Structure 1
């Protein structure tokens, strides 16, 4: 990550299934570069169980839109050739590429197999709810369309430890696969007793053949696409012992600059503390707690801003925190729906983009809109804040929490960026916060470059200024006459 870098999540859940995504993204790159984006997070680019799948129902990790499998050659997003074209265009603009990697489960198996399994309680996967029995499940992956190209490895029930459907008895549920050295992995979230199982055919990361195959694949994947980082999906469901070895292997195959980001979806900050320690602080994590604080603040008119950063990675592990406002999982009609109300988004984006700590991630749906249900973007204010970050958000920071419903902070600049930046916001009423800028700046006049208030602030002889914002809004002050274009 470069200084004051900005990540862009380059997709939302309901993008059109027309195969034109990669080409459409190329048209957006210049605008994103101009905003200050330094890295593009792409959706899962591997072949899923159908072109209407976002990629998280992954079928063949070696098919990047090259083989006629699961109804088409292309993925939802396009062909392998178009993907290479997009990555090349991103690199030409001196931006980095992070690809979404889904190695928790597989979907769309080619054949069924018969094996021993036991049904377990969906709310406590450590509890068996019936006797072991022979079931029939979709666990055989032979990839006939690829016919062994790049890898001749095929998957069978030995490589999984759970499925969600028994076709022999036409029964849905969670079935733990039985066998020698077989069971749920221990190094996972303890929610629901043991949260190894998430969906589809659940990969057994304790199986030595699985570990070797995934290591072989990730090396091929990184080299083939020439990417600069990966976003690991659903890491709370993947054995952390495996993950530590996997990431160590990735860095051995690449370099220390290769970026690894994990999605550990949990509102309990202490769980992420443990995970970071268990993986030797080699993986950055999304700041899920901060997102939920934003969501709660956007729903209440009496939210206490003094609690906004409690239990967040931004507060406890700032160098490992990827901050975000919303993403594809939190948008409307998704299982983790917790969409931040539009009125609050400028406040939330000001926090993640202008504060000192954290690696901010912009959401495609906020910048370009969401297809279903139709939600308009808030592109203008995000663009303004992202540009301000690149130009003026530097140096030490003083944070002001005043009266519970308002927040302000001052960035004091550095040798290369001497301009002071002042941000003030109110969750409820119009407010003014007195903040220290420095005696050496006495007499300077500051104005809101967002234009949300016409108030001008003159720094007094003691170095303080009284900075105002309107009700439910955010203002960003720079020395009067400063531009962000």
Structure 2
């Protein structure tokens, strides 16, 4: 979204309307019950999501996985969206294909874009084993061979008998993969590299562990022309079937950057569209590596989740008197804001998951204010923070005192126009958004990770005499804007306040979600 400045002597009828701020919801968390009702719940919530300002949903992997309770990252069949009796059920954990298409209709009706989670690195739960020749490699350096070539029985045979060739006739065999982690003949678990003509780990992957092509299960060989043909066709089919406006790619550190570029460009060409949104999970606390990855995609319009910012939030929430002026240090959004999807938590960093990044509850509203109410980055809200975490070892209620929806709504209504920062104190930050010609209200934000915070900030002389209040209701007083456009804006200790004209359009919408 690009704010449109007011041009002198420009008639309102000639000005371009300001686009509504885009806000993404990760529409799931790891411990959602496996009752196959999730697509239905999302469809039922679509109108409420649109009302608070959510413009896109990142939905979980919609394809058939290893079983009816699987979240989809242990993927079995790309072409089964909960339509065929495979791996113990017709529906996926999230619901049936029919339910998914109802969600598609509800999203379309409410102007919400859908991004599907694409798991293209590996396949799991093969239908049968196949014999092939491998070498075992060192797990800490996959470029080092630690065995002689030998045969194994690997789970490489994918026939999809329940689907019976509908949508795709392609069957997977050992030569469509580069590695696996299990020899069924000897019941041995290790990392086995498949040998054969043109067989090697993908070169355009992260260099951790020497070569990080192998992650889990049966690792796909994206250089194989039959593999490319089937996955490319699937991408076009899925996008058309679900009316997708984009995709989130799982584990992009681990599969070929060269193939990812081919996949994206093929999809754009086949659909004759360059407007699709693509974001990758390159989860690494390294701005240098993330920037280099984006550079290597060679002009492909692509985004990454801002992992370094998440770790900054985690550190800030657990460090007494953390210097908030450093919150963007080393972050993707500070260096490449157009390519940064900002977030506070996701399904991998939530409690009890492999990449857990603990963020203390008091800091969640501060972190969300930072990603939602500033001009830079594309914010992604986590389902577990908006709706709560229903299961797992420690269920949790919605974060931000149940008012995350109000923070999202404040973005939709008021976070527009020029941004002026007041980053002059270590434990208290402030900024103002000045509004645009057709969204003139603007807002003033104050947050503190210590005691009560106060910022003397200018919202513009055009607001002189207006009375502003905190849309969250956490600061109870009223503030009158001075003739020079300045006022003293406060927030409670270890909290945040969002100040807006008490008469601004939309003020009566808060607190309804």
1:163 aligns with 180
Answering whether residue 493 of structure 2 is matched by residue 471 of structure 1, we say: yes
**Preserved CA contact (<8 Å) 2:122 2:216:** yes
Q: CA RMSD in A?
A: 1.6
Whole-Å separation in 1 of the counterparts to 2:322 and 2:229: 49
Asked if 1:383 is matched to 2:402, the reply is no
Contact 2:261 2:300 in 1 (8 A): no
| Alpha-carbon distance in structure 1 between the residues aligned to 2:422 and 2:170 | 57
2:78 paired residue number? 61
Q: Which residue does the alignment assign to 1:151?
A: 168
How many Å apart are 1:95 and its aligned residue?
Answer: 1.1
Moved more, 460-469 or 36-45: 460-469
Q: Deviations over 1:159-213 (max 9, x none)?
A: 1111011122221121111112111111111111111111100111122221122
Deviation at residue 310 of structure 1 after TM alignment: 1.5
Q: Which residue of 1 aligns with 2:317?
A: 298
Say which of 274, 277, 295 aligns to 1:277.
Answer: 295
Q: Is the 8 A contact 1:165 1:172 kept in 2?
A: yes
Alpha-carbon distance, 1:398 to partner = 1.1
- Consecutive unaligned residues in structure 1, runs of 5 or more: none
Structure 1 distance, partners of 2:462, 2:98, is 57
**Where do residues 104-115 of structure 1 align in structure 2 (5 Å cutoff)?**
104-115=121-132
Runs of 4+ in 1 over 4 A off after TM superposition: none
| Distance (whole Å) between structure 1 residues aligned to residue 475 and residue 486 of structure 2 | 19
Corresponding position: 1:224 with 2:252: no
Deviation at 1:484, TM superposition (A): 4.9
SS of residue in 2 equivalent to 1:409: strand
Is contact 1:163-1:176 (8 Å) kept? yes
**Aligned counterpart, 2:283:** 265
Within 1, Cα distance between the matches of 2:135 and 2:426? Answer: 52
Q: Which of 376, 382, 386 is the equivalent residue of 1:367?
A: 386
Instruction: Supply the distance in 1 between the matched residues of 2:463 and 2:105 (Cα, whole angstroms).
Output: 46
Q: Deviations over 1:396-418 (max 9, x none)?
A: 10122232222111101110111
How far apart, in 2, do the equivalents of 1:480 and 1:27 lie?
Answer: 32
**Would you say how many aligned residue pairs link Structure 1 and Structure 2?**
485
Q: Distance in 2 between matches of 1:457 and 1:4?
A: 26
Instruction: Tell me the secondary structure at the aligned position of residue 391 of structure 1.
Output: helix
Larger deviation: 65-74 or 224-233? Answer: 224-233
SS state at 2:93 partner? coil
Instruction: Determine if contact 1:387/1:484 at 8 Å carries over to the other structure.
Output: no
**What does residue 337 of structure 2 align with?**
318
Secondary structure of the equivalent of 1:277?
helix
Between 276-285 and 182-191, the greater mean CA deviation after superposition: 276-285
| 2:415 equivalent to 1:393 | yes
Give the SS at the match of 1:87. Answer: helix
TM-aligned CA deviation for residue 461 of structure 1: 4.8
| Deviation digits for residues 187-242 of structure 1 (CA, Å, limit 9, x no counterpart) | 11111111111110011112222112211111122222222221111111111111
Secondary structure of 1:8's aligned partner: strand
Report the counterpart of residue 343 of structure 1 in structure 2: 362
CA distance in structure 2 between the partners assigned to 1:104 and 1:444 by the alignment: 55
SS of 1:113's equivalent?
strand
Q: Distance in 1 between matches of 2:264 and 2:475?
A: 48
CA apart distance, 1:462: 4.3
Alignment partner for residue 205 of structure 1, among 219, 222, 226? 222
Equivalent residue of 2:403, what SS? helix
Asked if the contact 2:443/2:459 (under 8 Å) is kept, the reply is no
